[in-house]
Structure 1
């Protein structure tokens, strides 16, 4: 999954794709590099981010979703609002990626049940502005598994088909650096819930902290570390990785697949 943020303030690429033309060009390039899905988002969810008006979000994403879809690309809409999801689906989006797992908008579960598209539910405890206040866990992996399991039950109770639900552990969302590594190191416990798992580690601050120590490396210098995380996540059973630099992570995932399936032919 290629990340396409049409926002001025996303942590890594904010402001780069504000025009629809630039965003579409980027989406096409990511597809050419091997992305199966282009994930279009119009509202930053970086730590501390504040909400934007719904009309602003719609104006940012709809032209991009429409153009990419018309070009035959598979597009997901990254939003927590049912009204934005609906408009994007009408414009051609094929799945919905909701970082709140349906908690930010009570109408989302009913909408997903009605439309029947794949839905990515991320682990979420609070909006970006206050999520740093919600990082207490007894056991972060067990707690995330339990809380995501509860979201699955709520979605199914609302009419969403279980086979349409994908899960995301929410790296960086109400998580400390240590929490992120624990979730990655025990990813199989989330996979065991029985739903496809998406991992979004790309360029996040816990990678920058690892690489830079007291002076974290900037987001754009974290792609090699992202590729390593992508490979390890794939080997642990992740269904999909969500990344900024598609080519490097695709190579890494191919290595992980060959390694775990022993599919590399013997050329001796």
Structure 2
């Protein structure tokens, strides 16, 4: 029977692998990759490792964790927050974590992102997301399509005017979209009109297609640039955090 510390050593790399897989394989067909199964396994492993952390916290006789173990926990706690973005349970957990986790710079960034999401401030969420390190940024990027849809839907009400348009460059920066073609795909999918010269978007709340399926997550350029700079085995084994 494994004790809590042994379980943590087993589960942490599994969590990292599943989190990376969730992003890396997001564009694959359902025959090759089922995101629901990956999500389920990731949630189960995260829950398991968090329970082990709590078990060790409650053991007065347990050995003091090493600096490396503390760093690993902070990163996994960050993953849990990002993966469960918008969940009241994860948000409540964040408020009750030990001080060393809550004071960790990366955790503060993740918590700020989650707080902004809870407050409905999607602008702050989108500005914070590219600041996350490698795997955290990749996992957060799988939430991007839902955030983009929500923001576009908000814009159909905020800019619902026959004379009013929103410049494409502004929307590209705001929505973290690489180029005009990506924005055009979003507009086409949700029934949003572009100006004749395709340099601006015309929002109309009656045109938005609420029945359109959410677009699949995709590889994002700002995430790929981060992942190119890392040595993956080192990151998945939690030997490097930034």
TM-score (norm 1): 0.28
> Would you tell me which structure has more strand in proportion to its own residues?
1
Kindly indicate whether structure 1 or structure 2 has the higher relative contact order, using CA contacts under 8 Å at least 6 residues apart.
Answer: 2
**Structure number with bigger Rg:** 2
